Chain A
């Protein structure tokens, strides 16, 4: 990190590779967005972008939750089911008894923290524990909402659509659609906390070298509880955001989020081990995968039976492209 006599070329080389790595997710997003604009130029407007990106907000929050777990080298296979629970609480208890609803959500976050403690103390495989939890969460969601329905609290709906609310009540026209503002705020807040704060560096260090962090006097237990609680918190926000945007919910509403969130973290430049993650990358990855899996496919007018396969092809294409660019960037 010293700025002295190390040869400039090498510093530049290292920086160049790191830069390329962190820019690649953004390039993928631009490529997908460009393809959508090409096929349907009318999406290239504030209103069009609003529609395209609206549901990328809850997926981004779920992806951040997954990313927090992946930072400490674990994996969360229950995040999709958990999103269903928090959306379910929002659509039922939170409407009827707001205080009790809030308590229930806090309880969910605490349950995530407790799981982190359990996984750390008993040295359990997170994949299996969260796999088991996915059944538990789904069961709770089914009990909350045996049939699709419920109703989003009014304040939640107006918060998710705060630009409409501003326009109607204050006469202020937001030049940028609400989803984009939300995505940027979410990405920046998470990045600030995990990448630029001192404790954030410790937390990432747990994924990189847990023993070194422990030897330096930091509690691994506290770190795991923190990361799992943060995941629970983001997952709860994802459920509420999804509910606020859809107006109603169902028990399995978040099912796709489990695998999509893992893919989004990877698309965003994160890795499974070593604490190498990027919150901004995760949000960009989630937005990319959302656009690819939904908007691009419906615009391509593929026959329905090939639409599922096209998600796979796009994922492969984006990752292959990224690998090619990185390889070209590596050779001098």
Chain B
């Protein structure tokens, strides 16, 4: 009994648990409101869409954990560029899938290297470096795309929504990725290096962490994951659209922070990413099902939906702050 209470208390003290609680709450509210019609369909959709957000959020988490000022604003446009380049090259031919995938990864590597060289060689603060590079990346995507919308190879388009034993295959892969990244963050020299730099760059350097190498890898990982997510999202949504990535800037940051990672750096958290990604999707789904009721109030559902989204995000952060161990 006492042991059970202690275990429960230990779980409740985890910074990521509240993201899952909120996700389940949003799911339940929607299911109850629709009298249980779409319970499993909603869960499946949530896992597929949350896979995309979690992928980009893992990269953003490593970058943010590097410490104050570190953030990757180029994620959305990297997704667009990699999706555009890959889809156009594959031109609907399934045999070209490996080449498309390789190109997506190359785009990610190139963006990551470019971002870090701005930060390191020209000494530009990361937020401004990635803000500037995203303009250039977007231009490249526009030039490459030229308004064309080419269909992805059919088999690739079906892949993200494929089910294994009723569970989305993509979600299984991204859960495995998250598990691997959890180990990388907490159990490897590299991950400890990221955390150490976030806590004190000076202390990390003095204790022998290869600060610049670790930072370089974090920015490259973030860009490559964004490129892969863009590749999959473009395939999933039937072609690369120029505005495809725009929701993912705010989503990537919100998922990282709601998931329990410290914005001040030095304290990353992987399990929370999945919970927060699920929560954000389910929150939007919940507000969509409520929108008819809201419209009946005569305020126009779009505005009220935005206000509720923001208010609930803030509420979750405030509630989570009461559960935080006092420091």
- Does A100 touch B at the CB level, under 8 Å? no
The reply to whether B143 and A124 form a contact with Cβ atoms under 8 Å apart is: no
Q: How far is the CA of A140 from the CA of B37 in the complex (A)?
A: 32
Q: Give, as a whole number of angstroms, the nearest-CB distance from B313 to chain A.
A: 4
Contact status of A309 and B131, CB under 8 A, knowing A133-B314, A136-B307, A140-B307: no
The reply to whether B125 and A272 form a contact with Cβ atoms under 8 Å apart is: yes
- Does A263 touch B at the CB level, under 8 Å? yes
Complex contacts, A129 vs chain B, CB 8 Å: 314, 317
Report the nearest B residue to A312, measured CB to CB.
B135
Report the nearest B residue to A137, measured CB to CB.
B310
A-B contact pairs, 19 of them (CB 8 A): A122-B322, A131-B250, A132-B314, A135-B307, A136-B306, A139-B306, A142-B300, A142-B302, A259-B73, A259-B131, A266-B127, A273-B68, A312-B133, A312-B135, A312-B139, A313-B132, A313-B135, A313-B136, A323-B124
Report the nearest B residue to A144, measured CB to CB.
B303
Stretch touching chain B among A6-14, A38-46, A314-322: A314-322
Contact status of A316 and B118, CB under 8 A, knowing A128-B263, A309-B140: yes
Number of interface residues of A (CB under 8 A): 45
- Does B69 touch A at the CB level, under 8 Å? yes
The reply to whether B263 and A132 form a contact with Cβ atoms under 8 Å apart is: no
- Residues of chain A touching chain B, judged by Cβ–Cβ distance below 8 Å, are 73, 77, 118, 122-125, 127-129, 131-143, 146, 259, 262-263, 266, 271-273, 305-313, 315-316, 319-320, 323
Most B Cβ at <10 Å: residue of A124, A132, A266, A310: A132
Report the nearest B residue to A304, measured CB to CB.
B142
Q: Give, as a whole number of angstroms, the nearest-CB distance from B316 to chain A.
A: 9
In addition to A309-B135, A310-B139, 5 A-B residue pairs with Cβ atoms within 8 Å of each other are: A132-B309, A139-B310, A272-B69, A313-B135, A316-B118
Stretch touching chain A among B46-54, B201-209, B253-261: B253-261
Contact of B317 among A124, A259, A313 (CB under 8 A): A124
The reply to whether B118 and A309 form a contact with Cβ atoms under 8 Å apart is: no
Q: How far is the CA of A319 from the CA of B254 in the complex (A)?
A: 28
How many inter-chain contacts with C-beta < 8 Å in the A-B complex?
Answer: 147
Complex contacts, A146 vs chain B, CB 8 Å: 300, 302-303
The reply to whether B68 and A272 form a contact with Cβ atoms under 8 Å apart is: yes
The reply to whether A315 and B313 form a contact with Cβ atoms under 8 Å apart is: no
Q: Give, as a whole number of angstroms, the nearest-CB distance from A176 to chain B.
A: 31
Complex contacts, A272 vs chain B, CB 8 Å: 68-69, 125, 127
Complex contacts, A141 vs chain B, CB 8 Å: 303
Most A Cβ at <10 Å: residue of B129, B313, B322: B313
The reply to whether A132 and B310 form a contact with Cβ atoms under 8 Å apart is: yes
The reply to whether B142 and A142 form a contact with Cβ atoms under 8 Å apart is: no
Q: Is the interface of A mostly helix, strand, loop or mixed?
A: helix
Q: Is the interface of B mostly helix, strand, loop or mixed?
A: helix
Number of interface residues of B (CB under 8 A): 50
- Does B237 touch A at the CB level, under 8 Å? no
Contact of B305 among A73, A139, A308 (CB under 8 A): A139
The reply to whether B138 and A263 form a contact with Cβ atoms under 8 Å apart is: no
The reply to whether A131 and B313 form a contact with Cβ atoms under 8 Å apart is: yes
- Does B2 touch A at the CB level, under 8 Å? no
The reply to whether A323 and B123 form a contact with Cβ atoms under 8 Å apart is: yes
Report the nearest A residue to B74, measured CB to CB.
A312
Q: How far is the CA of A129 from the CA of B308 in the complex (A)?
A: 14
Q: How far is the CA of A73 from the CA of B306 in the complex (A)?
A: 27
Contact of A316 among B124, B253, B303 (CB under 8 A): B124
Complex contacts, A131 vs chain B, CB 8 Å: 250, 253-254, 313
Contact status of A135 and B139, CB under 8 A, knowing A123-B321, A316-B122, A316-B132: no
The reply to whether A124 and B318 form a contact with Cβ atoms under 8 Å apart is: yes
Complex contacts, A273 vs chain B, CB 8 Å: 68-69
The reply to whether A263 and B131 form a contact with Cβ atoms under 8 Å apart is: yes
Complex contacts, A262 vs chain B, CB 8 Å: 127-128, 131
Contact of A308 among B138, B257, B312 (CB under 8 A): B138
Complex contacts, A142 vs chain B, CB 8 Å: 300, 302-303, 306
- Does B4 touch A at the CB level, under 8 Å? no
The reply to whether A135 and B128 form a contact with Cβ atoms under 8 Å apart is: no
- Does B311 touch A at the CB level, under 8 Å? yes
